[in-house]
Amino acid sequence: MNRRKSNYPLQPPRERGTWRAFALALLMHVLLGLFLYHGIHWQNSTPAGAEAELWTETPQQPAPRPAPPPPARVAPVPPVDQEQADIALQEKKRKEQEAARAAQLAEQQRQQQLAAQEAEAKRQRQLAQQQAELAAQKAAADKLKQQQQAEKLKQQQLAEQQKKLEEQKLEQQKQEQLKQQQLAEQKKAEAEKAAKAKAEQLAKQKQLDQERRTRLAQLQGLAGESETGNGLAKSGNGTGSGGTATSPGYADKVRRRVRPNIVWAGDTQGLETVIAVRCSPTGTLLSASVQRGSGNPQWDEAALRAVQKSDPMPLDDNGRTPASFTITMRPAG
């Protein structure tokens, strides 16, 4: 606003009653003009003359030429009062100044209106630009929101696909584990079946060996080579041997032969198993059986296997192995 005012020079304050004085002056000028016009027109007018006709008898003579009319008299211009002329001139100058001032004021008002219109147009342009920027920002925000929603939906779809793939993978792993379990069970069943068949075969072989040894013993008894003994010698560390026809150190020989073959990792307290053994004079093991169990079938089996792995049995001091004897087995503890 200060910039707009600085474009115009300073003007005197507006007087009160200017338009009223202007109207009165204009009315006086109009009346003065009418007065001057009628005064000049009245002075220039020629007074009308009276006319009369006279009839007389005159000789006929050529008519005389009419005399030319007298020249019109120009009415002199009445003298104008110099003071009134000065007043009129001053009034005219004042009116011209007021008209110029009014024109300047109108121009200022027009310039102000133009400036106001320009400012309003500029404000409208700025407002439209701001609205356009807001609309663009809103459109960008909406587009970003849509992109975020699309990205979120895509992430959800990817997560669901990943979840389905993981579920399928877990299902495949379960099926693979089930298949492996079935294969393991099948292998186990086959192994159990093979072990059972092997055990039956071993049992049959043992039975055949027993029968063979029995026949061999019978043959040896008939030949007079059989020796019997029912002695029972006990020793620590899980082995013992005895017989009435054995030397005092034979039990230690049997213990040293059987002890390395004992394989047992279970409980050792209160376990004692008596194994009945039949051998040939050369030490070949003819038969071995549990004569008195310990109450623990696993330990009884381990003791029997240790005796069977000790084939052949050691020879006695006389160079022969006793035909029969018992071995008391205890876990080393």
Instruction: Output the DSSP codes for 129-187.
Output: HHHHHHHHHHHHHHHHHHHHHHHHHHHHHHHHHHHHHHHHHHHHHHHHHHHHHHHHHHH
Burial 229-267 (b: 16+ CB within 10 A, else e): eeeebebeebbbbbbeebeeebbbbbbebbeebbebeee
What are residue 24's DSSP bridge partners?
none
pLDDT of residue 237: 35
Cα–Cα distance, 286 to 166 (Å, whole number): 64
Q: What is the CA radius of gyration of the chain?
A: 79
pLDDT of residue 276: 93
- Quick one: CA dihedral 190, 192, 195, 200, positive or negative? negative
Give the H/E segment covering residue 269.
none
Cα–Cα distance, 311 to 322 (Å, whole number): 14
Domains of the chain: 228-329 (3.30.1150.10)
pLDDT of residue 238: 38
Cα–Cα distance, 217 to 210 (Å, whole number): 10
Reported pTM: 0.31
Q: What are phi and psi of 182, to 5 degrees?
A: -65, -45
Kindly give the confidence (pLDDT) of every residue in the chain, 333 residues in length, as a single tens digit, with 9 standing for 90 and above: 455 555 555 566 666 677 888 888 899 899 988 888 877 765 555 555 556 565 555 555 555 566 666 666 655 555 556 778 788 888 888 888 888 888 888 888 889 988 998 899 999 999 999 999 999 999 999 999 999 999 999 999 999 998 999 899 888 888 888 888 888 888 888 888 887 787 787 777 777 766 666 655 544 443 333 333 333 333 333 344 444 456 788 888 998 999 898 888 887 788 899 999 999 999 999 999 999 988 888 999 999 999 999 889 999 888 889 999 899 888 876
Under a CB-based contact definition with an 8 Å cutoff, are residues 296 and 325 in contact?
no
Token pair listed for 114: 């133009």
